[in-house]
Structure 1
Amino acid sequence: MKNSTFNVTGMSCASCARTVENALNKNEDIKASVNIATEKINIEYDENKYNFEKIKKIVENSGYGLVETLSEEEKMQMYEDKIKSLRNKLILAAVFAIPLMYISMGHMMGIHLPDIVNPKKNAAIYSIVQLLLTIPVVYAGKDFFIHGFKNLVRKSPTMDSLIAMGASAAIIYSLYAIYMTITVDPEYHMNLYFESAGTIITLILLGKLLEARTKGQTSSAIKKLIGLQPKKAKIIENGVEKEVLIENIKVGDIIVVKPGEKIAVDGKIVNGNTSVDESMITGESIPVSKNIGDKVIGGSINKNGSIQFEATEIGKDTVLSQIIKLVEEAQGSKAPISRMADIVAGYFVPIVIMIATITGIVWFISGSGLTAALTFFISVLVIACPCALGLATPTSIMVGTGKGAENGILIKSGEALETAHKIKTVVLDKTGTITKGKPVLTDLKVYNSFNENEILQLAASAENNSEHPLAEAIVNGAKEKNVEFKQYDKFRAMPGYGIRATIDEKEIQIGNRKLMASRKISTEAAEKDYEILSNEGKTPMFISVNNELAGLIAVADVVKETSKEAVEKMHKLGLKVIMLTGDNEKTAKYIAKEVGIDRVIAEILPFQKSEEVKKLQEAGEFVAMVGDGINDSPALAQANVGIAIGSGTDVAIESADIVLIRNDLNDVAGAIALSKATITNIKENLFWAFFYNVIGIPFAAGIFYAFFNGPKLDPMIAAFAMSLSSVSVLMNALRLKFFKVKD
């Protein structure tokens, strides 16, 4: 089965999306899901039976269009063209609808009308002028009629069908009223409904324009990300700088970036040093120092130094392209909470047509007359809004996932965004997640009158030849203190014991108790310090010079600066935090105590991590697993929500539901808080969408007027209310833009 995403054209509401889905899903070996907010369709199909052209034909037969995936520039252009078209249609409609309202309603409000269009003096001309003014308005809204009646004939009515039926009923009855005014009774002009039809079309065009503009804001995160990538870059070719289009850059090209310029693609610095602003990609506001050998990310901004870097990833392989792809997929996906709204929206329009028809018939047979019956019939048709229901969930997901992306939190699907708000327990891997994942020099103790600087110099010089991670920690620690390294004469690594080296005719030994015991070197002076350092989760090593105890040096995988703060934030959200590690229990418990973790599960093998997560789930816990290594992948997949630290392996990131680009545990709490805020926003949208229709439709049907002598709803007011309902849902979704992920 192949999975593809395409763009659907011609949709106006959730009923349209339902129609397209149904048309495809009734075919064997096709499974389709439409997102009305993004106007995209995700289709899983048997490529041996179907291709794009066959799928396109099915969609076209249902009344809509299908376009193969467009570039972001093409999509943005299509969107701008749509807004421009709606604006032009609205202007055309308004230019004629305003005088139409003036002529039809002016005399009722005491406004002077010229005699030629005064109904008391020229009822026939008054009526015909209204008809002539209505024609351009109908032309401006012709798409409502074309799509509306087509879908009605196909037995898949949509919001356009409601508008078309309501406006057509008003126009047809008004044409009958013109005939009666001219041939039977001039007073029949009181039954004209042209202004209702014209105003309905104009107001709904206004609503569509506002909706389109607001929808554009919901996907602003994608636009910002796309805008990060420069169009051109300078490469060095045969020793000469040459400007090329970004799509012409090849892996291995050397690219020159001056201060203030954007970095074109991902790469590795080969010359120069600088600081780089990666805030739009990682959410980290502080510029990052970069030196030779460091990686740079395409789309980030070079701040203050000229550099040359080798292109390592281009096109779709860059970090920025992968982020855009993840955000697009998330915004196009559906959350489980949307299913109820989709089902209701699918049956909504036929039910509204039935309610409107029954309403009209009841009012007519009750003796209220044809005019009153028509008023209630049209009001019910035009106040109903399936759009508000259809947009409630996907717009919030679009804004929520976009907000996450702006802050370095990539949520890979609508389902992951929704599921994250249910998390009660967060399981953290230790190495590389809570800790930095790289041992560093932490302590140096000296004995028997040896000098601290001398011992660090000898230890680092001896370890400089070793590839062991603990040796690397000692060497890097010495470099940070600007220690000058000495050349050794002899070097020997002794696995399970330590190392031995000769420097300046001094025999240096660094290792464990077994090494010291084998050389009959007393470690009594260091035993107390050894126990203290061990209890702190560090790895201490004895140092001897010429068979005399000289010092105790310790390294440790230290806790990240943000880990304690991150755990505190998780606790504030009411989450239980568990550490899951293969490290020894003493070290794990020390680190857990340092950062405030509730429970430790230590000394487990990599394959047992997923089993431990499963045990927690079986005990009723809703679990998020946070990790960064290959050995975390099964546990990430097993968890209800897998969260990968972005600096981790590709396998871990692939297995996760949420990816944190920054290597910062604070973003775990941020992702969960964002999920909670998004779900609250969706529930607000759904409440108002249902509440609007539950109250609005009975009001339009005249229930309050019939039983409580309340007001009647004019069709024009109903159309205005319908337009505002969709916009209000979109505006509420946009409130998520102000959510502070880092608080």
Structure 2
Amino acid sequence: MTAVPTRAQAGAFNLRQLWTSLPDALRKLSPRELWRNPVMFIVEVGAALTTVLAVARPSTFTWWIAVWLWLTVLFATLAEAVAEGRGKAQAATLRKTRTTTLANRVLDYDERTDAGAESARVESVASAELMLNDIVVVSAGELIPGDGDIVWGIASVDESAITGESAPVVRESGGDRSAVTGGTRVLSDRIVVKITSKPGETFVDRMIALVEGAARQKTPNEIALNILLASLTIVFVVVVLALGPTAGFAHAAPTVTVLVALLVCLIPTTIGALLSAIGIAGMDRLVQHNVLAMSGRAVEAAGDVNTLLLDKTGTITYGNRQAAEFRAVPGVAASELVEAAARASIADPTPEGQSVVALAAELTASGEGFDTVAERPTQPSENVVPFTAQTRMSGVDFADGRQLRKGAPSAIRAWVVERTAIPADIERVFDDQVAEISRLGGTPLGVATVDATGCARLLGTIYLKDVVKTGLKERFADLRRMGIRTVMVTGDNPVTASVIANEAGVDDVLAEATPEDKLALIRREQEGGHLVAMTGDGTNDAPALAQADVGVAMNTGTSAAKEAGNMVDLDSDPTKLIDIVTIGKQLLITRGALTTFSIANDVAKYFAIIPAMFVTAFPGMQALNVMRLHSPDSAILSAVIFNALVIVALIPLALRGVRYRPSTVSTLLGRNLLVFGLGGIIAPFIGIKLIDLVISLIPGF
């Protein structure tokens, strides 16, 4: 895929982003903005109180504490502003596609006519004036004025402004590829489009709102974590407020500045500062993969999915059956069959027909076919016989009377029988080949020839099979290790479906599936406590997409499918569902990892502040001063500075996400505790000690 140059690149992070996001970060310092984040709101209140104390009773220590508390709040808003800024860069690209254009609105459209709008009256209006169900005509070179479905015609459309894909796509009426998006350009032909969106509610409008974060709602898990953080904050507020009077009985009452510093270092400021950025970055990573999530809930649900419904055609297989083997009947040389099959496929433009030519060339190169297959089958002939649905054959007729045919076995047998009786042993082998290929889940094709004397012969069969995409078996194995069950859904018969399922390595298969069967399967899985994800592009997929916890609609699909799903894949690549699940899990792992780090981080800060607060009144507390910090004031200030700097240090990780490796839940938990739990304890000891060494060089400390 060729990406639009102006798109923000995934994982990009640099100091320039911090600088450009600074104005937004300063704006977010407003209490009206910050109160939604209880942890950082408490820090801001503490910073304001400390600033008042520094003005009323100036001291170097109080001013240092005030400055670093304000920086702590600023770094938190900066993390969120940087995450939102990446979305705004995406929105800037999308906004260019929303340029107001003139639309040719049809006044008296007649659906009964073939061309629909050929002779109808047309008026030019601004695209913003188009209403739901309006009919417009779009010709080559014109922009499609709004989201809609093609009701007549076929055209090549440039969707690069939306998808980043430079290659044009074909859109046509009457199928699952009839949906078009406002702002894309028709490159050829002429189409009639029925508008399916209201003004201001187009697909591009929704994309802009979502990637900018304007429509982003907190997910249930995020809300629950916010409640937990708020509860911990309230507990520590009560503890700190009670600490002053309690310590006063021992004549060791700390100052208000020290109590504020203690509170800020005890509450989970690290995860409180980064929580919003993690959620925004999760949706942004999907946008970088050209997937639009309609809500943060959908991204989060993707991380919890444990059942994947995957369509066979186009997802597990390449979508077009390809030639895999030539099988000659007795008395026919393999080279003769290969040559005849390849030459007979010249006039067959289908992917299957072209795959026959490709396999013949491959066998020739390996010495298994005949000498000049790479050249001879591609030589033009004036006597080609094109493939048609009526004859179900294609081939070539030579000037000397020879003929070659390739096609459906029954059609080939009938073609031979019209000219010559088929020997019983040859017919039996031919029938056995056809039956075996069918039993393996493949599609058999027959090959026959007529010589210059008019004598017809069966030459053999071609084995066409669904080709499983490379690497899928390994990816399914990874999903299995993650505890995710894969189900292949197909309309094929059970025998064919079973063969493909075994080759692909999926866990289960639903054969001869109807839309009702898909919906019933999803409901059964959900009743069993599973979260289900699936892809679809047709109107008949809409009920299942709506029922699934994660429904990924293809951008090439119908408007009904896109409305039913909670994600839209702009590239229309069904296999991307696996990537979506990975991104969802990465979001949850990142949130869990940084929460673990934040709580473990607080443990180490206790050893910096608590001994420093009471060591004068209780000399025995010196035993807890394991870091041997310079002085009580430098210890407290070092902890506050570290508390602020660690937020900036973790912004890139929050945006990029913790690297995800497919493994079991217990393994992930163990790695999480080892890396981020243990790391969260060790890092502050090192960081606070280094900061203390620097502060000890400042006069007055």
Q: TM-score, normalised by structure 1?
A: 0.57
Matched, 1:682 2:595: no
Question: 1:485 and 1:531, CA in 2 relative to 1: closer, same or farther beyond 3 A?
Answer: farther
Amino acid at match of 2:138: G
Question: 1:441 and 1:649, CA in 2 relative to 1: closer, same or farther beyond 3 A?
Answer: farther
Displacement after TM superposition at 1:581 (Å): 2.1
- Indicate the residue corresponding to 1:625 in structure 2: 534
Task: Between the two structures, name the one with larger relative contact order (CA 8 Å, sep ≥ 6).
Answer: 2
What secondary structure does 1:589 align onto?
Answer: helix
Displacement after TM superposition at 1:476 (Å): 9.3
What secondary structure does 1:578 align onto?
Answer: strand
CA deviation map 1:368-397 (0-9, x unaligned): 46xx44454343355465654434432222
- Indicate the residue corresponding to 1:406 in structure 2: 288
- Using the TM superposition, name which of 503-512 and 379-388 deviates more: 503-512
Amino acid at match of 1:615: R
- Indicate the residue corresponding to 1:420 in structure 2: 302
- Indicate the residue corresponding to 1:341 in structure 2: 225
Displacement after TM superposition at 1:637 (Å): 3.9
- Indicate the residue corresponding to 2:316 in structure 1: 434
- Indicate the residue corresponding to 1:357 in structure 2: 241
Displacement after TM superposition at 1:611 (Å): 2.0
CA distance in 2, matches of 1:273, 1:147: 46
Answer whether contact 2:293 2:567 (CA < 8 A) is retained.
yes
Q: How does 1:710-721 map to 2 (within 5 A)?
A: 710=625, 712=632, 716-717=637-638, 719-721=640-642
Displacement after TM superposition at 1:514 (Å): 8.8
- Indicate the residue corresponding to 1:222 in structure 2: 87
Q: How does 1:268-667 map to 2 (within 5 A)?
A: 281=163, 288=167, 323-328=207-212, 332-347=216-231, 351-368=235-252, 372-383=254-265, 387-438=269-320, 474=353, 484=381, 493=390, 511=408, 513=410, 516=413, 522=422, 523-524=427-428, 526-542=430-446, 548=456, 550=458, 552=461, 557-561=466-470, 563-564=472-473, 566-571=475-480, 573=482, 575-618=484-527, 622-644=531-553, 647-662=556-571, 664=573, 667=576
- Indicate the residue corresponding to 2:65 in structure 1: 200
CA distance in 2, matches of 1:350, 1:619: 38
What secondary structure does 2:491 align onto?
Answer: coil
Question: 1:362 and 1:384, CA in 2 relative to 1: closer, same or farther beyond 3 A?
Answer: same
- Indicate the residue corresponding to 2:621 in structure 1: 708
Answer whether contact 2:322 2:465 (CA < 8 A) is retained.
yes
Displacement after TM superposition at 1:607 (Å): 0.9
CA distance in 2, matches of 1:280, 1:740: 31
Answer whether contact 2:310 2:487 (CA < 8 A) is retained.
yes
Question: 1:658 and 1:568, CA in 2 relative to 1: closer, same or farther beyond 3 A?
Answer: farther
CA distance in 1, matches of 2:250, 2:270: 33
Question: 1:236 and 1:277, CA in 2 relative to 1: closer, same or farther beyond 3 A?
Answer: closer
Displacement after TM superposition at 1:424 (Å): 3.7
Root mean square deviation of aligned Cα: 5.9
Question: 1:526 and 1:159, CA in 2 relative to 1: closer, same or farther beyond 3 A?
Answer: same
What secondary structure does 1:431 align onto?
Answer: coil
What secondary structure does 1:199 align onto?
Answer: helix
CA distance in 2, matches of 1:491, 1:231: 45
CA deviation map 1:163-202 (0-9, x unaligned): 2233334544x2xxxxxxxxxxxxxxxxxx4434433332
Answer whether contact 1:627 1:636 (CA < 8 A) is retained.
yes
Amino acid at match of 1:215: E
Displacement after TM superposition at 1:682 (Å): 0.7
Displacement after TM superposition at 1:733 (Å): 0.9
CA distance in 1, matches of 2:92, 2:33: 35
Gaps of 5+ in 2: 1-17, 104-125, 131-135, 359-376, 626-630, 663-701
CA distance in 1, matches of 2:74, 2:68: 10
Matched, 1:724 2:640: no
CA deviation map 1:420-448 (0-9, x unaligned): 33344433221232123345666777879
Q: TM-score, normalised by structure 2?
A: 0.60
- Indicate the residue corresponding to 2:655 in structure 1: 734
What secondary structure does 1:577 align onto?
Answer: strand
Amino acid at match of 1:367: H
Question: 1:310 and 1:722, CA in 2 relative to 1: closer, same or farther beyond 3 A?
Answer: farther
CA distance in 1, matches of 2:568, 2:323: 30
CA distance in 2, matches of 1:292, 1:662: 14
Gaps of 5+ in 1: 1-75, 87-140, 175-192, 238-244, 258-262, 465-470
Displacement after TM superposition at 1:583 (Å): 1.0
CA distance in 2, matches of 1:341, 1:383: 19
Displacement after TM superposition at 1:652 (Å): 4.0
Question: 1:599 and 1:637, CA in 2 relative to 1: closer, same or farther beyond 3 A?
Answer: same
CA distance in 2, matches of 1:558, 1:598: 18
Question: 1:80 and 1:277, CA in 2 relative to 1: closer, same or farther beyond 3 A?
Answer: farther
CA distance in 2, matches of 1:327, 1:490: 48
CA distance in 2, matches of 1:566, 1:280: 28
Question: 1:345 and 1:607, CA in 2 relative to 1: closer, same or farther beyond 3 A?
Answer: same
Displacement after TM superposition at 1:584 (Å): 0.6
CA distance in 2, matches of 1:389, 1:509: 66
Answer whether contact 1:166 1:381 (CA < 8 A) is retained.
no
CA distance in 1, matches of 2:232, 2:69: 19
CA distance in 2, matches of 1:221, 1:147: 20
CA distance in 2, matches of 1:560, 1:364: 72
